[in-house]
A and B are shown apart, each in its own frame.
Chain A
Amino acid sequence: MTSKAGLASATPVPAGLDQAQLRDLYYFLRLTRALEERLVNLYRQGKIVGGLYRSLGQEGESVASAYALEDGDILSPLIRNLGSMLVRGARPIEILRQYMAKATSPTSGREMNIHFNDLRLGYLGQISPLGDMVPVMAGIALSFKMRREPRVGLVYVGDGATSTGAFHEGANFAAVHRLPLVMIVENNGYAYSTPTSQQAATPRLAAKGKAYGIRALTVDGNDVFAVYRGAKDAVERARVGDGPTLLEVITYRRKGHAEHDDQRYQPDDEIRKWEKADPLDRFVERVQRGGWIPSQELGDIDARVTQELDAAVTECENDPVPVGDTALPHVFAEPAAAERLWFRQIDG
């Protein structure tokens, strides 16, 4: 087989991907991991406002599932879907500005980390009361259906969120109305400290989709190709009116819920076992074994990521923080700003 780049491959690239797409995938996998590593450094320097949430070990399913979407589609990420946001076009400097609560951030310092929207690029910020994104994304999918637009919504749901009422209401609503919605259920072993076994008695969370008449599958979440193939199929089915799919991805959260979390509830040997199934390592091993991307090119991508992040961190650190009273506008469209209270209007 000859790719678009003209490089002869030893074996065909799987999942209908071409070599340019493989390079793309590698870029986003590497960018996600490297950006989080930068964030850890900034966190340790006290430059992050509040908590830091890692997706180490889950970058594969985030990047691969988001990569299955087309322009015009919209996804809604969870805290561990930084990779999905980057695939949709969120820029590292925006993430940095959010984490450092800068005036220049997409939310002008009002919101944290990945909680911001760009519906044109195709992402709706996370809603922290988990499960709520399912009904909201069902509404976005409903709008696609009502306008007869061939667009798809994709929503991430954690193992913990599948216990919420909102998830069940949203999934059922999407099923009944046959909406173009793909649900990626990330079974990463833990919801904060609670293992999946204490979250649900069913061993396979995909069963929760089946109960609503939703096509539901389970795939290896640390296999970029398997996730991409499953998501792509689900997205294309949704696009042609075949209704929702629930794709359970089995993965593992190798860091704590947030950077402060000492993970005392996660056995060491369990973490070590999953380190050996690292999605980025597996991806690199696959592309090298297949002869699809020369090592030199992978190195070039790494260098590009380093360069981009160096520039972004430097720029972000010099950005201003928001002025206090910029907190008042935009509670409503009208009135334009909340009232400044009387004790802030009198002279001390």
Chain B
Amino acid sequence: MAERTYLEALRDGLREEMARDENVFILGEDVGAYGGAFKVTDGFVQEFGAERVIDTPISETAIVGAAAGAAHMGFRPVAEMQFIDFIACAYDILTNYVATARYRAGLATPIVVRGPSGGYVRGGPFHSQNPEAAFFHTPGLKLVCPATARDAKGLIKAAVRDDDPVIYFEHKYLYRRIKEDLPEGEDLLTPIGKARVAREGTDLTVVTWSAMVWKVLEAAEQLEQADGASLEVIDLRTLVPMDEETMFASVRKTNRALIVHEDTRTGGVAGEITARLNERVFEWLDAPIKRVTAHDTPLPYAPTLEDFVLPQTSDVVSAARWLLAY
């Protein structure tokens, strides 16, 4: 076992996949000589050479498009968005082309597009977003959002091996803040489309993912200590395909559901989860399904503003108490 941060685990996973399969290569802005803006690919160009760790012009459409073209030819490219906010520049080619190539004309496009997402780091409006909902809506793209170091590694390895395009949202708040002992020399894979029960409980199901998992676990601990309440925390890990059965089974047990995400409320993934719970486990519910999300604003810079807009542990505690008392 070796203690690895979330970022190191992601790096290990990428490096292992590049060593395992010569068809895996990396392209993006500053990924080579500099090792990436957050150093995810630090040392890769020395280890694998500039042909497999390709520095590109600032051209997100070209990065994703070239990855797609190479993927059609049997490569498994991993494209880095320097910040996931900039994936919006490649929205057209991802949604119109990459997502549809298999369906429209039988062309496999096994690419991974990954990048640092999320707030709580005072990154300001252009460097803090969670653009998951924009892609959640498009059939043909898989979306993964690891919360733990183990899953940061397991999901990047699974994403590289997946035959479909995968967008990998890595949370920059977690990069160096969380650590975990991970087995060495073991092929650690997290299945795409399988949720994890992060904490077992009986009174309320909280469905969440990415950095919010940690805030929800913190809230669950506080509620157990203060109120004796038992929260079950589901870490979805993958948004598409979504592990509905794990959520449904939990809600059938607890009869209450709260969905917590860092993205803004309107059109957010929580709305879709609410609808699916309503359609499938309505009879088991003893309370309305509720959401805790960011407020519907761009994400401001000042710490006081950012902390107000983003969901906090205390918000989860309040919402959970409201539901438990219903």
**Set of chain A residues within 8 Å of B162, measured between Cβ atoms:** 333-334
Query: Complex formed: what's the CA distance from A143 to B70 in Å?
Result: 5
Determine whether the beta carbon of A142 is less than 8 Å from that of B279.
Answer: no
* Known contacts A139-B68, A142-B69; A132/B164 CB under 8 A: no
Determine whether the beta carbon of A128 is less than 8 Å from that of B96.
Answer: yes
Q: How far is the CB of A50 from chain B (nearest CB, A)?
A: 15
Of B102-110, B175-183, B256-264, the one with at least 4 CB within 8 A of chain A: B102-110
Determine whether the beta carbon of B65 is less than 8 Å from that of A135.
Answer: yes
Determine whether the beta carbon of B61 is less than 8 Å from that of A140.
Answer: no
Contact with A along B53-97 (1 / 0, CB 8 A): 010110111101111111111110100000000000000110011
Query: Complex formed: what's the CA distance from A166 to B56 in Å?
Result: 14
**Set of chain B residues within 8 Å of A127, measured between Cβ atoms:** 96-97
Which chain B residue shows the least CB distance to A134?
Answer: B65
For residue A100, CB closer than 8 A to chain B, the reply is no
For residue A125, CB closer than 8 A to chain B, the reply is yes
Determine whether the beta carbon of A110 is less than 8 Å from that of B57.
Answer: no
Q: What is the interface size of chain B, counting residues whose CB is below 8 A from a CB of the partner?
A: 42
Q: How far is the CB of A269 from chain B (nearest CB, A)?
A: 38
For residue A274, CB closer than 8 A to chain B, the reply is no
B65 CB contact (under 8 Å) in A115, A139, A177: A139
Q: How far is the CB of B99 from chain A (nearest CB, A)?
A: 9
Q: How far is the CB of B155 from chain A (nearest CB, A)?
A: 15
Which chain A residue shows the least CB distance to B110?
Answer: A333
Which chain A residue shows the least CB distance to B68?
Answer: A136
Q: How far is the CB of A116 from chain B (nearest CB, A)?
A: 5
A170 CB contact (under 8 Å) in B62, B103, B139, B140: B62
Determine whether the beta carbon of A129 is less than 8 Å from that of B279.
Answer: no
Query: Complex formed: what's the CA distance from A71 to B140 in Å?
Result: 31
**Listed residue (B51, B106, B108, B241) with the most chain A CB atoms within 10 angstroms of its CB:** B106
**Set of chain B residues within 8 Å of A141, measured between Cβ atoms:** 69
Determine whether the beta carbon of B92 is less than 8 Å from that of A110.
Answer: no
CB within 8 Å of B: which of A65-115?
Answer: 106-107, 110-111, 115
Determine whether the beta carbon of B72 is less than 8 Å from that of A124.
Answer: yes
**Set of chain A residues within 8 Å of B153, measured between Cβ atoms:** none
For residue A200, CB closer than 8 A to chain B, the reply is no
CB within 8 Å of A: which of B20-72?
Answer: 25, 51, 54, 56-57, 59-62, 64-72
Query: Complex formed: what's the CA distance from A21 to B322 in Å?
Result: 80
Determine whether the beta carbon of A138 is less than 8 Å from that of B102.
Answer: no
* Known contacts A129-B92, A332-B142; A117/B107 CB under 8 A: yes
Query: Complex formed: what's the CA distance from A257 to B84 in Å?
Result: 38
Query: Complex formed: what's the CA distance from A129 to B91 in Å?
Result: 12
**Set of chain A residues within 8 Å of B75, measured between Cβ atoms:** 143, 146
Determine whether the beta carbon of B69 is less than 8 Å from that of A143.
Answer: yes
What are some 16 contacts across the A-B interface (CB < 8 A)? Answer: A111-B104, A119-B73, A119-B107, A129-B97, A132-B92, A135-B61, A135-B69, A136-B68, A139-B65, A139-B70, A143-B72, A169-B59, A176-B56, A176-B57, A332-B140, A335-B193
Binding site for B on A (CB under 8 A): 106-107, 110-111, 115-117, 119, 124-125, 127-129, 132, 134-144, 146, 165-166, 169-170, 172-173, 176-177, 330-335, 338, 342
